[in-house]
């Protein structure tokens, strides 16, 4: 055999020692935003890249191997379970995200032209971290101590609708003398009542800022006992309690929650991400009306605090975040006509104008994509056709109007939504029908030399 010239050998070694690039992408969104369905579709599109829209898009036209890692991944995303639901008979939507989970996918791209002589192929590892957006709502706790949190909860509970939702719980919490000896059983009852109050705040009043977020979506790895604390409404930032008192027990657990649970998530996971995808169900709230849109706005503004890295931001002071790019995506846009999908995305960006400006100002590049991870409708003339949950046949429907822009007072008569089933006949080894997943996957790998 002819030996390759030495310079070529050197370049080859150099290229390999550059290592295999690795991109860490966070996927988040509030409950029901579409995270699980999105990640399932993402893996499916990559696994079936030769037959889907990806095949026509650079650099995926040079993608020669895709491996989704089944083993050795901590807290793996339940891909096969999600597929089982979507490809089932009848097809069902997969179980929603309730905890952090991971996906690792290795891509190998063929090299062309001159580069091919140096290195036959190039790899990229995509690591996806899926986590509930609700966890980001606890960010403000990092800047507070227990007494300040009690003051804030007192303020929130004094105002409607929380005052009515809390009912007798408010008086019970007020009646406790913070300096008296704590009673384990009573504290457990109160913590359960607080959790129930948070649940009802979300389900009955549609409120999104429900603290502590892990009372609703605990995730794994937290001792249940550490979640036994409540705000003591008669205390404030100057209160100090003796050992064994209500105050000292609740304060210690609050600190643990703040310093290990909340800060631990940011330290261990969040601050290692390179890019973030934020999924938003914009159509549900547009259908529900002004109050739901206002609440979505407040919640997403809190979520976006985690992406503001200006000099005076809480996160900028505590961590060294690496997130440089954010994709904000209106999900499930197959529920409206294709020509309305851009308008849905525009309304979402209108809703978040100020916070997105802050995020950009902090140095993060923001892009928007209207998406449908799994398209459940098809268009026929100017109507949509889809299967409904719990019914065997098809229905034709008109989704109704989407304004070009969101009015400032958030008053719209939005679309009429139906409870759609996933399309029948999905199979793991066929690309799922979707809208713009290929564009988003392109964004994930953009900027990497492949």
**Which residues form the interface with ligand GDP (CB under 6 A)?**
29, 31-37, 93, 96-97, 331-332, 334-335, 372-374, 376, 420
Query: Given the complex with ligand GDP, which of 323 and 374 has the nearer CB atom?
Result: 374
Find the shortest distance in angstroms from Cβ 265 to ligand GDP: 17
The DSSP 8-state label assigned to residue 372 in this structure reads B
Return the ∠ at Cα 405 (arms to 366 and 296), rounded to 5°: 65
Find the shortest distance in angstroms from Cβ 209 to ligand GDP: 18
Find the shortest distance in angstroms from Cβ 405 to ligand GDP: 24
| Residue 213, CA atoms < 13 Å, CB-side half-sphere | 25
Q: 307 vs 210, 278, 440, CA distance in Å?
A: 20, 11, 19
Match 């939005």 to its residue by tokens: 414
Query: Given the complex with ligand GDP, which of 97 and 305 has the nearer CB atom?
Result: 97
Find the shortest distance in angstroms from Cβ 415 to ligand GDP: 12
The DSSP annotation for 56-109 comes to: GSTTGGGEEEEEE--SS-SSB--HHHHHHHHTSSS--PPPPP-S-EEEEEEEEE
Query: Given the complex with ligand GDP, which of 136 and 191 has the nearer CB atom?
Result: 136
Find the shortest distance in angstroms from Cβ 445 to ligand GDP: 22
Query: Given the complex with ligand GDP, which of 335 and 341 has the nearer CB atom?
Result: 335
State yes or no: cis peptide before 212, omega within 30 of 0: yes
Find the shortest distance in angstroms from Cβ 219 to ligand GDP: 14
- Among 405, 310, 295, 327, smallest CA distance to 363 is for 310
Sign of the C-alpha dihedral computed for residues 305, 306, 310 and 313 taken in this order? positive
Query: Given the complex with ligand GDP, which of 32 and 272 has the nearer CB atom?
Result: 32
How far apart, in whole angstroms, are the C-alpha atoms of residue 431 and residue 215? 38
Find the shortest distance in angstroms from Cβ 120 to ligand GDP: 37
Find the shortest distance in angstroms from Cβ 246 to ligand GDP: 36
- Among 73, 81, 83, 64, smallest CA distance to 127 is for 73
CA 320 to chain centre: 21
Find the shortest distance in angstroms from Cβ 323 to ligand GDP: 20
Query: Given the complex with ligand GDP, which of 63 and 136 has the nearer CB atom?
Result: 136
Q: 43 vs 78, 83, 430, CA distance in Å?
A: 11, 10, 12
- Give 403: exposed, middle or buried? Use CB within 10 Å, 0-12, 13-18, 19+: middle
Query: Given the complex with ligand GDP, which of 96 and 121 has the nearer CB atom?
Result: 96
Query: Given the complex with ligand GDP, which of 12 and 32 has the nearer CB atom?
Result: 32
Strands 101-110 and 63-68: antiparallel
Query: Given the complex with ligand GDP, which of 211 and 335 has the nearer CB atom?
Result: 335
Which residues on neighbouring strands pair with residue 62, listed in sequence order? none
């Amino acid at each position: 055999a002819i030996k390759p010239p030495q310079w070529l050998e050197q370049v080859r070694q150099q290229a390999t020692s550059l290592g295999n690039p690795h991109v860490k992408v966070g996927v988040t969104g509030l409950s029901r935003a579409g995270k699980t369905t999105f990640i399932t579709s993402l893996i499916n599109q990559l696994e079936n890249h030769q037959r889907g829209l990806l095949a026509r898009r650079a650099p995926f036209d040079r993608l020669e191997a895709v491996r989704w890692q089944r083993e050795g991944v901590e807290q793996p995303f339940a891909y096969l379970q999600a597929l089982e639901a979507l490809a089932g008979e009848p097809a069902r939507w997969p179980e929603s995200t309730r905890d952090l989970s991971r996906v690792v996918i290795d891509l190998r791209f063929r090299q062309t032209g001159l580069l091919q002589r140096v290195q036959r192929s190039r790899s990229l590892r995509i690591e996806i971290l899926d986590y509930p957006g609700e966890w980001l709502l606890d960010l403000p706790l990092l800047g507070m101590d227990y007494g300040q949190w009690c003051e804030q909860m007192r303020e929130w509970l004094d105002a409607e609708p929380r005052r009515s939702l809390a009912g007798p719980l408010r008086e019970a919490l007020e009646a406790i003398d913070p300096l008296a000896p704590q009673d384990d059983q009573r504290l457990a009852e109160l913590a359960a009542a607080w959790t129930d109050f948070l649940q009802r705040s979300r389900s009955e009043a549609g409120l999104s800022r429900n603290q502590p977020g892990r009372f609703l979506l605990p995730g794994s790895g937290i001792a249940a006992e550490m979640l036994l604390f409540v705000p003591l409404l008669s205390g404030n930032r100057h209160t100090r309690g003796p050992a064994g008192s209500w105050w000292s027990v609740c304060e210690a657990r609050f600190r643990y929650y703040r310093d290990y649970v909340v800060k631990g998530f940011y330290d261990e996971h969040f601050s290692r991400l390179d890019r973030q995808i934020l999924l938003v169900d914009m159509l549900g709230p547009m259908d529900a009306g002004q109050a739901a849109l206002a609440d979505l706005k407040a919640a997403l503004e809190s979520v976006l605090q985690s992406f503001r890295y200006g000099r005076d931001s809480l996160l900028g002071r505590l961590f060294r975040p690496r997130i440089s790019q954010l994709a904000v995506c209106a999900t499930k846009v197959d529920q409206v006509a294709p020509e309305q999908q851009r308008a849905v995305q525009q309304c979402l960006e209108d809703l978040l104008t100020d916070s997105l400006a802050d995020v950009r100002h902090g140095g993060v590049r923001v892009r928007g994509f209207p998406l449908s991870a799994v398209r459940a409708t098809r268009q026929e003339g100017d109507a949509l056709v889809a299967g409904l949950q719990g019914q065997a046949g098809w229905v034709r429907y008109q989704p109704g109007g989407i304004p070009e822009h969101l009015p400032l007072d958030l008053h719209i008569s939005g679309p009429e939504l139906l409870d759609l089933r996933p399309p029948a006949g999905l199979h793991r080894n066929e690309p799922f029908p979707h809208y713009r997943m290929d564009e988003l996957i392109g964004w994930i790998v953009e900027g990497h030399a492949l």
